[in-house]
Structures are given as C-alpha cells and as structure tokens.
Structure 1
C-alpha cells in the first residue's frame, strides 16, 4: 500500500482521535417536577426547551452561573444497574438551573449534572439512580 493511499485512513483516525478528545466524562442523576429554574432564569418557564431535555448544573460545571443556557450533547456510558444505558443514544440538553439549589432534589447528590426525567429516560433506564456519562458543550 502506497503512502498516498494510507493518507485517507490516517486522516480518519486522526479525526476520530480529535473527536473523542473533545468530550468530558462525568456523572448524572435525575430530578422530577416541579422544575423551577430560579438559579438561572427566575421563574421564566419559557427557557425550557420544547423537547423537555434539560438539566441542572452540578458544581463542577456551574461556573458561577455562566453555565445557564449552555447546551451539551450527553450520552450514557455505564451504570451500576446492568444494561441501563441505551446504546448509541445521544441527546442535546440545556442547562436551566443549579443542582445545589434546585427545588426538586436529585436522585443522587454531587453529580456533574442532573437531568430532567425526560432527558434521563431518553439515554437510560429511568430505574437507575445515576449514570456515568460523556458530555460535550455545543
């Protein structure tokens, strides 16, 4: 195989390596209504995405409130509950609140982000209390 024919394959692997390095690893849990995004938007419920895929930011990504409105691609990597992750399922969520001060409490404190019930169920079995996730800001 000539060096010229190896170039597309090399570029593919380089792209794959760069793509994978852009994502972060963290944890997530879920929370239930009432969803009142007081930490980010007061009581402005129009900030919720129509998909109902949103989250409260954990302290690791809160960034003194700068995370409000940020959007992330999120996928499940693993869980203590066997086969909880929905394979090859990635969703886009919007940060609408702060987990530490949210009215509704997360199923597990101290996670990177706390997903709405709809967002959590889109990537995993809702019976799981927490997940290991891959996330990337978009």
Structure 2
C-alpha cells in the first residue's frame, strides 16, 4: 500500500465528519409554559380534538408562527440550558404539535417573547416545572 492511501482515507473521514456537523437542521430558541384553559386556539378554534393525547403541544411564538402556517407542525424539542443549573431533564427529547399562537393564548405564559410556549405537560417533561423559561433546541419533524 502506498503512503498516499492512508492520507486519502483520513481526508475522506474528515470531509464526512464536517458534512455531518454542517448539516444539522436544529434551531435554538427559548420556551415558556402556559396553563389551561387551552381553548379556543388560533389554529383550530374550540375543537378539542386538535390536542395530542399525550398533551405535548405548544403555541408558536412570532419567530415560527409564519402567519398561521405553523398550525399542526410537529417539532422535536429538548431543553439545553436555563438560568438555574439542573433545570433541564438530561437527554430528554419530546415531540410537540403547534396548536396555537403565543400572542393570543388564553392564559399568560410564564415568560414573554419566546420561540414556543409549551403546555404545562410538555414543559414539565423536559424541564423543572418551576422554571420561568428555558433555552431549547428544536427541529421540525
């Protein structure tokens, strides 16, 4: 085997690893939580069948609302950090569904101007439910 062969494989491996790093499709944002009542919603009005049986849903903030096009979209969401250490549930990712617009939810979110406002169930699945807001990584499914 010539001396160029190992260098070629190392170069290919480096290119492959760079490709993996640069093709991540996840975004970073923030999330708050909101309590019931959850109806009516900007997406589906008073139709309670809109909510997933898991109660893992959210209201979209301005950054992802997209004039209502986000209604029904599903995202993988995980807590990546918070103001207080130990707030995030380690290695926990949930799948949520957008059912409302954060600017028109019926009950006040725990923090304003976040990327998503998660149901209490969704927020508690990935973070300590006493937190006001968290930093999240999210990706559309």
Select which of 110, 115, 121 maps to 1:112: 115
What residue number does 1:27 align with?
30
SS in 2 for 1:128: coil
Could you report, residue by residue, the CA deviation over 1:40-63 in whole angstroms, capped at 9, with x for unpaired residues?
001111111111110001111111
What residue number does 2:106 align with?
103
What residue number does 2:73 align with?
70
Q: How many residues matched? A: 136
Partners in 2 of 1:13 and 1:85 — Cα distance? Answer: 29
TM-score normalised to the size of structure 2? 0.88
SS in 2 for 1:52: coil
* Long gaps (5+) in structure 1: none
Select which of 2, 10, 19 maps to 1:14: 19
Deviating more after overlay: 5-14 vs 41-50 = 5-14
Partners in 2 of 1:111 and 1:17 — Cα distance? Answer: 26
SS in 1 for 2:103: helix
Partners in 1 of 2:34 and 2:19 — Cα distance? Answer: 38
Select which of 87, 108, 124 maps to 1:121: 124
What residue number does 1:82 align with?
85
State yes or no: 1:3 paired with 2:7: yes
SS in 2 for 1:122: helix
CA RMSD of aligned residues (A): 1.6
SS in 2 for 1:110: coil
TM-score normalised to the size of structure 1? 0.90
Q: State which structure, 1 or 2, has the greater radius of gyration over its C-alpha atoms.
A: 2
* Long gaps (5+) in structure 2: none
Structure 1 residue runs of 4 or more that deviate by more than 2 Å after TM superposition: 3-10
